Amino acid sequence: MGLGWLVPAFLAGLAAVVVPILVHLRQREKREPIRFPSLMFLRKVPHRTTERRRITHPILLLLRALAVMALVAAFARPFWRREDARPTVGTAGRAVIVAIDRSMSMSYRGVWERAVDSVAAVLATVGTGDRAALIAFDETAEIIAPLEAGAGAARARLATLAPGGKSGRLAPAIRAAREVAGLARGLVVEIVVVSDLQRHALTGLEAIERVPGAALRFASVAERNPGNARIGDVDVDRRAEGRRSRLTVGAQIAAKGDAGRAVKAALIVNGRTLATTSVTLGPNAAARARFEPVWIAEGDAVGLVALEPDALVADDTLRFSLASAAGVPILLQLSPGGGAEESVYLEQALGISRAPALAVTTRRGPAPIAADLARARVAVVADLGGLGPRGLAALEPFVSAGGGLVLIAGPRGVGPTAPWLPAKVGRTIDRTAERGGRLGQLDGDHPIFEPFKEALSSDFGAARFFRYRELTADSAARVIARFDDGRPAIVEGRLGAGRVYLMATTGSALWSDFPLQPVFLPLLQRLVVTAGLIQDPKRWYSVGETVTLPENGASLTVSGPSGPDQRLAPDSAGRTLTLELPGDYQVRSDLAATPLDRFLVNPAAAESDLSAADPVEVLAQLKSPADSTAAPTVAPLTAVEQERRQSWWGWLLALALLLLGAETVYAARLERRTPMAGGTR
């Protein structure tokens, strides 16, 4: 054991101790001039200025010298060196395998620098006859420098590494270290894993076995009390008005740390800052920031919410797409000659949908127009009785090709029939004398009712149905809602690639008060969305996700933040892309001038959780090796880690400040006691 210095070069600053000594030796006498009315009766005596050859205030000098020494020692980072930290000396050489975490969280201020210092300190112990290897890992592990004599190759490759945008996992690092250790025959194997040891990175570690015969150590370089603010999610409301869109954006901002603070956020669209706001975050809490509405040009755009940079800059921005506000095309087919009261609730319910936005085209007539069906994703028929046979026949190929169809039985009769309909429409059931019927049985597991699953009876139980059509469901159809008398209320059927939903009631308030209930609007929207398999467009993705590329018979070119473009050959089985880095990915085809698709990628949310595990806890999760002759499971600590655990520099810095304060007080007292006229200090 002995005293060690992490940065011994700073000890050269001890030469500064000479400064207070010289100040004390060259201190000159202080005199205060005395005014006389006349000097003719005074004898002129020459004054001699001499240097002081002795120190009159040794305590003051001692305080100053000790303060300088404490400051120098604090910067040199002293620690008490343990014997097991010294390089191993023996006849057998060593195989030193170092794995360094390069996940996104390692870019936290100061963490990567500590990690590089720790790896460099381990490699510094590699002597003659030893071999070294370097592994870099995040979600996967890569052997950066294979096991070679000396540490030169590992040091050279270490200088080229930097934190990336992926999540970190420790299990791949241990597997890679096991692979390298298999090549170290006849050598003493030491494995050091340098990481911030995020808790989520421990997933799967319990299934990993320790490397037999190897000394293993997890070195934590995590910040002790990390503070971080990140953007968790954004919500977007975009409404088209002519050639412009009114854009309202909100962002959820989460804080990690003991102290709350105010955070400024900016909304940037296509590279221009359009709005700013601020939010006060409590300790370990989340808040929602709202930007003032702004106007942007109609069309696709890229949005960005950016926070003031903090210690972890990588999660201070969130990219998201702003798809055109035009919406998903929906055809609303009304009966010819019907009044406004028959369609007002349907039009309003579909027109105000925002997640996803629906672009509704309303038509009246016994049959839909072919051009409208060609554009539409879903067709809604407000009254099946007002639809002619030709109109029903026109809907069959539309549904078979993948379109969605919502049929409302309506009051105008049973209407046309076809074998592909999910149910046969029959007579009118009149329950006016019973003060109306209710919905009695709903399929809570169906996607339509899934948002209401927690409160089906309270949401739908208030509606009264005075009249409705009797439906006889087809054997292949599925009844997803029934009235309290057991008769079907909503029946689902399939035709080719499309879906058909048939409702026994009306879309107006003529036969029921259902359109007046709060649940009518979301239910109708769920019917349309489910029938057309419509999904709210995904505005952004996370690093590590795999996406399916658009189907195209030609080659595809993918440009992203990783550098050179990636070219993908035609593939009838479909092509996928793994999003490995944060940024903007664009997919282009040789057959189209504009991009086929675009993926805006952000760091994985788990990397913003900086909760760290203790190295002993991490080591305990590993399975014991199968053989009982394994080497010790803990390798000696490096100088960097020993100093980090002891942290004497903080106490030395506090001592220096205390000595400087005592020096100030003592000098002030001497100043008051020393006579000024012709005297000395």
DSSP letter string over 398-457? HHHTT-EEEEE--SS-S----TTSSEEEEEEEE-GGGT-B-EEEE-TTSTTTGGGGGGHH
Looking at residue 73, what is its pLDDT?
78
87-221+612-635 CATH: 3.40.50.410
Provide the token pair at 448. 């339509």
User: In this structure, what DSSP letter does residue 540 have?
Assistant: -
Report d(CA 117, CA 588) in Å as an integer. 43
Q: CA dihedral in degrees (519, 525, 529, 531; nearest 10)?
A: 80
Give residue 44's identity as a one-letter amino acid code: K
Looking at residue 427, what is its pLDDT?
92
Looking at residue 356, what is its pLDDT?
73
Report d(CA 153, CA 96) in Å as an integer. 13
Q: Are the C-beta atoms of 251 and 289 separated by less than 8 Å?
A: yes
Report d(CA 381, CA 580) in Å as an integer. 45
Which residues, 6+ apart, have CB-to-CB distance to 191 below 8 Å?
A: 97, 98, 99, 177, 181, 211, 214, 215, 216, 217, 635
Residue 219 CB neighbour total at 10 angstroms: 26
Looking at residue 354, what is its pLDDT?
63
Q: Tell me, which fold does domain 228-322 have in CATH?
A: Immunoglobulin-like (2.60.40)
Q: Are the C-beta atoms of 103 and 163 separated by less than 8 Å?
A: yes
Q: Are the C-beta atoms of 229 and 278 separated by less than 8 Å?
A: no
328-531 CATH: 3.40.50.880
Q: Is 196 helix (H, G, I), strand (E, B) or coil?
A: coil
User: In this structure, what DSSP letter does residue 152 have?
Assistant: H
- What is the mean pLDDT for each group of 10 consecutive residues in the chain (681 residues)? 69 73 62 63 59 64 80 76 47 86 94 93 90 95 93 94 92 94 89 94 89 89 89 85 85 78 90 93 86 88 92 92 78 83 83 74 88 90 88 91 91 85 93 91 87 73 91 93 94 92 90 90 89 81 86 77 80 74 87 78 90 89 62 51 67 81 80 56 42
Q: What is the 3-state secondary structure (H, E, C) of 274-319?
A: EEEEEEEECCCCEEEEECCCEEEECCCEEEEEEECCCCCHHHCEEE
Report d(CA 231, CA 602) in Å as an integer. 10
Provide the token pair at 315. 């999660």
Residue 297 CB neighbour total at 10 angstroms: 10
Sign of CA dihedral 77, 82, 84, 87: positive
Provide the token pair at 298. 């109609």
Q: Kind and range of the H or E element at 230?
A: strand 228-241
Q: Is 319 helix (H, G, I), strand (E, B) or coil?
A: strand
Half-sphere CA count of 466, side-chain side, radius 13 A: 11
Q: Which residues face 374 on adjacent strands?
A: none
pTM value? 0.62
Q: Are the C-beta atoms of 411 and 442 separated by less than 8 Å?
A: no
Looking at residue 635, what is its pLDDT?
47
Closest CA to 152 of 123, 129, 115: 123
Distances (CA, A) of 151 to 7, 173, 486: 21, 19, 79
